[in-house]
Amino acid sequence: MQSVGSISVSLSAIQKEFDATLAAVQWIGLMGSIMLCSLSLCFGRAGDLIGRRTIFKAGLTLYTAGAGLAAFSGTFPQLLASRCVMALGLAMAAPMAAAIIASAHGHEHRGRALGLLAASIALGRTTGPTIGGAILQLWGWRAVFLANCIFGVATCVTMFLIVKDKEERRKVSVDYLGVISLVVGFPSFLIALTAGTRQGWDASGILLWLALAAAGIVTFVWRELHEVPLMNLRYFRSIPFVRSMLSLILATLAFYPVSIFGPIYLLNVVGTAPLTAGLAMATLPLCTTLLSPLSGRLADRFNPRWVAIIGLCIILLGVFFYARLGEDSTLIWIVFVLSILGAGIGLFVPANDKAAFSTVPSRDYGMLAAMLTAFGTGSGALGTTVAVALAEVAKKTRMSGDAAGFADDQQFAFSLLLPLAALAVLVTLLGKRERG
């Protein structure tokens, strides 16, 4: 769903056409991340109950319909509503893909299948901005959404023709209050973190967002402990399960902000052209694409935990080097650093996913895939928010100019994120040795 076009490249054109504020336009990009981390658990649970392929097909259909509606939106509110439909479909389909693949492959070949899935996602991230930029330049922002719609239609037709058999359903209720509390709690926390550094933490608006976040998150945890859970908290008694989840959260917190800081650094500090900056940033997902299948194969042959550790060590090295990029860093060195990060991510994610799937029974694969999606997306959004807040703190104290100043702010932020990557390595090393 993300391989044809990148919606993010269209935001500037959308802002100009509808004369919208930057804060409003940003919600078009944020919608996907917020819904993925808030609703994935709900649809992961629903997939285990009424059928993963059923939820996956419904998600594809919604995403495609939303893209078509967005292409013909006459006002900004209509576009935002259409984007909401797309994000809802993405939250339904994304976690189901890993669950379907994990359940369809035995333990001996599951790592290779998950590696190919990770590679395909990374390939979409590599080519998406380039293709989306070309479509935007030739036909405008509406064509970007239309391209997503056409690709979605082709995918839907293929899925409905190939997958026809019915799935067994389980009669278990879903905790809708838990869903609502999570949807309220996590986005409110992100908004508070984003605005707190600018408005002040004692501002009435920030205190309100923090109160909503606390109420939502506390209610969600209480419901998970006392009602039919969206995520089975009993699995957190398993050290291998906790190890896989915690290492994913810590690593993503550390490396994900690069995707936001990197383009700004290349354009404003290094002074590269937009096309050069795009190609340089593409080296990160490209290396992830190339290394993910290898990670899957290694995880099938050896203990996936140790493959994940190697990937985490490379991620740690990449974050270490990125935290030291400055105003005088060469483009070649920057590309090399991004390549290290991409390679580490490619080795870590498939192996860690396989290790996680080995800790739960197959009937809960949908729930687990949703947890991996929600935790990964949520920690990425949180890591970016924290990194921006840290850069804002550094910006208030620095004396240098804009270009050198942003490089200093970036160094400050990633130097404080670096211990999280180191902690991810330590967490994965701890515990008894077991076969994945």
How much of the chain exceeds pLDDT 70, in percent?
Answer: 74
**Same structural domain for residues 117 and 262?**
yes
Q: Given 159, 193, 227, which residue is the final one in a domain?
A: 227
**Same structural domain for residues 250 and 336?**
yes
**Same structural domain for residues 182 and 164?**
no
**Same structural domain for residues 196 and 239?**
no
Q: Give the tokens for residue 176.
A: 């809708």
Q: Per-residue pLDDT averaged across 152-161, rounded?
A: 78
Q: Is residue 367 part of a domain?
A: yes
pLDDT at residue 344, as a whole number: 93
Q: Is residue 130 part of a domain?
A: yes
**Same structural domain for residues 250 and 208?**
no
- pLDDT tens-digit series, residues 211-253: 888 888 888 778 777 666 666 677 777 888 888 889 999 999 9
Q: Work out the pLDDT band at 321, boundaries 50, 70, 90.
A: very high
Q: Is residue 1 part of a domain?
A: no
**One-character DSSP codes across 2-22:** -SS--GGGGHHHHHHHHT--H
Q: Work out the pLDDT band at 436, boundaries 50, 70, 90.
A: very low
Mean pLDDT of the chain: 78
pLDDT at residue 409, as a whole number: 84
**Same structural domain for residues 155 and 197?**
no
Q: Work out the pLDDT band at 314, boundaries 50, 70, 90.
A: very high
**Same structural domain for residues 358 and 405?**
yes
- pLDDT tens-digit series, residues 46-57: 766 677 778 888
Q: Is residue 2 part of a domain?
A: no
Residue 5 clears pLDDT 50, i.e. is over it: no
pLDDT at residue 175, as a whole number: 66
Q: Per-residue pLDDT averaged across 120-142, rounded?
A: 69
- pTM of the complete model beyond 0.75: no
Q: Is residue 435 part of a domain?
A: no
**Same structural domain for residues 335 and 405?**
yes
- pLDDT tens-digit series, residues 332-380: 999 999 999 999 998 998 888 888 888 877 777 777 777 787 788 778 8
* DSSP H/E element including 260: helix 258-264
pLDDT at residue 170, as a whole number: 55
pLDDT at residue 103, as a whole number: 66
Range(s) of the domain holding residue 27? 7-174+228-429
Give the number of domains in the chain.
2
What CATH number should be reported for the domain holding residue 389? 1.20.1250.20
Q: Give the tokens for residue 386.
A: 């924290």
Q: Per-residue pLDDT averaged across 275-288, rounded?
A: 81
Q: Per-residue pLDDT averaged across 142-147, rounded?
A: 85
**Same structural domain for residues 335 and 398?**
yes
pLDDT at residue 133, as a whole number: 64
Residue 315 clears pLDDT 90, i.e. is over it: yes
Q: Is residue 436 part of a domain?
A: no
**Same structural domain for residues 258 and 212?**
no
- pLDDT tens-digit series, residues 190-204: 677 666 656 666 777
Most trustworthy range by pLDDT among 119-123, 409-413, 417-421: 417-421
**Same structural domain for residues 423 and 365?**
yes
Q: Given 227, 245, 262, which residue is the final one in a domain?
A: 227
Q: Per-residue pLDDT averaged across 169-179, rounded?
A: 64
- pLDDT tens-digit series, residues 94-130: 777 766 776 666 656 666 666 666 666 666 665 666 6
Q: Given 166, 195, 227, which residue is the final one in a domain?
A: 227
pLDDT at residue 3, as a whole number: 40
How much of the chain exceeds pLDDT 90, in percent?
Answer: 13
Q: Is residue 434 part of a domain?
A: no
pLDDT at residue 196, as a whole number: 66
pLDDT at residue 435, as a whole number: 46
Q: Is residue 286 part of a domain?
A: yes
**Same structural domain for residues 140 and 193?**
no
Q: Give the tokens for residue 79.
A: 């576009």
